[in-house]
A and B are shown apart, each in its own frame.
Chain A
């Protein structure tokens, strides 16, 4: 009888053991990180045994959800504004904020177009449009759009194209317009351009023409040790290969 009981206990421990250790970590991340983060997270799940769930949305929507009490452990935003937003409201773990990734801004065209343009101060973007529209994320509300406008302003091309833009709901929507040939040119992140076969990169905007595109990461209050481990992993050299494969730069 005793040996049966012992056997049962051991069996339970064996079954419950890994399950007791395994955790579900909820990550809120900007939409533009989707493919890259999904790949990294899956690899992490295999090695760590933890489960990683990622919710992708526009950074502002995520920030508001966190404010409303969403049980996320990690928040990766597409710009600094919305990390500041949650920090100011005391929702983050002090000292956990770091810049995780960087990105580039590129000018794209449909894959079958022959447009050749060099981005330099005073370059004639308006002429290259030939009367049609430039697709980009809405500069009024989307970070990618704000970066694009800033770049054009600093290079002197904004005033001539201001009235010829097609402000899309997101940077992916802008990408879609170019991919379908609706717009002859568009401004998106390098990572988006690489993800879409139907567009080609015409040129890259100089890093100095716009505020640095950073993706800050922060741990939120109540994050478990497992979440902390994941955050560390995302910033580690182990994850670098994946990030760079998708076109991101690791923040120094």
Chain B
């Protein structure tokens, strides 16, 4: 199955968008997961609900919200524009849409694994001289590793399949925002492109399977020799 240059470009763009989406959303996801797992504060339920919003809203609605907030005239978009960060009709916008849609999946997975870490082990580390931050980095995170991997892979797979929010936010520009799902969609709308549709669909399936296999391997490699409980 040989890919045309155009198709290759679509795949490359999808991978770029997906990887950036995961990379950028991982730190805030870890922070959010930690706060939800360990801290108690007023408005916690609200934060939890807000994070899960992209999971329950129709993707097109999320796309419109992104347009409102991060568009050139949106409150956040207007702030970022002088810094040179632009989302309108750019792959960065596609990455942002993908990141937002995958965020709740990532937070859920990481939160579960952080919750499974015995807090007494963290306290033991404190008595040995470790500050709370050091405990988090050297004890909590390594023990929560399987959840991190799962969350990242899930978010990546979600990013690969992201359509509604992307096309609504940054439209369908080949080479810039036309990720795999958008390309497949365009080809289904145009008569005579059935072969391309099939090829790209199979590719999408293959990519997802590779991502899943990778996550299994990563978890098994580091997770098997440890348990989160002493």
Q: Which residues of A contact B (CB under 8 A)?
A: 60, 133, 135, 138, 140-142, 165-169, 173-174, 176-177, 180-183
A135 / chain B contacts, CB cutoff of 8 Å? 171
Considering the chains assembled together, what is the distance between the CA atoms of A133 and B176 in angstroms?
Answer: 12
Considering the chains assembled together, what is the distance between the CA atoms of A14 and B73 in angstroms?
Answer: 60
B67 / chain A contacts, CB cutoff of 8 Å? 176, 180, 182
Q: How many A-B residue pairs have CB under 8 A?
A: 53
* B168 CB within 8 Å of chain A: yes
One of B71, B168, B189, B190 near A181 (C-beta < 8 A): B71
Residues of B55-77 at the interface with A, using a CB-CB cut-off of 8 Å, are 64, 67-68, 71-74
One of A140, A165, A173, A183 near B189 (C-beta < 8 A): A140
Chain A nearest CB from B100 CB (Å) reads 17
Considering the chains assembled together, what is the distance between the CA atoms of A166 and B170 in angstroms?
Answer: 8
Give 1 or 0 for each of B165-179: 1 = CB within 8 Å of chain A CB: 001101111000000
Q: Report yes or no: A138 in contact with B186, Cβ–Cβ below 8 A.
A: yes
Q: Report yes or no: B186 in contact with A141, Cβ–Cβ below 8 A.
A: yes
Q: Report yes or no: B73 in contact with A167, Cβ–Cβ below 8 A.
A: no
B89 / chain A contacts, CB cutoff of 8 Å? 133, 166, 182-183
Q: Report yes or no: B171 in contact with A141, Cβ–Cβ below 8 A.
A: no
Sample (7) of A-B pairs whose CB atoms are under 8 Å apart: A60-B189, A133-B88, A167-B172, A176-B67, A181-B72, A181-B73, A182-B67
A138 / chain B contacts, CB cutoff of 8 Å? 172, 186, 189
Considering the chains assembled together, what is the distance between the CA atoms of A169 and B64 in angstroms?
Answer: 13
One of A60, A165, A180, A182 near B173 (C-beta < 8 A): A165
Chain B nearest CB from A163 CB (Å) reads 9
B190 / chain A contacts, CB cutoff of 8 Å? 140-141
Chain B nearest CB from A249 CB (Å) reads 27
Considering the chains assembled together, what is the distance between the CA atoms of A90 and B24 in angstroms?
Answer: 54
Chain B nearest CB from A80 CB (Å) reads 14
Q: Report yes or no: B172 in contact with A182, Cβ–Cβ below 8 A.
A: no
Chain A nearest CB from B13 CB (Å) reads 15
Residues of B149-179 at the interface with A, using a CB-CB cut-off of 8 Å, are 167-168, 170-173
8 more CB-based (< 8 A) A-B contacts, given A138-B172, A169-B172, A180-B67: A133-B88, A138-B186, A166-B89, A167-B172, A169-B171, A176-B64, A182-B71, A183-B89
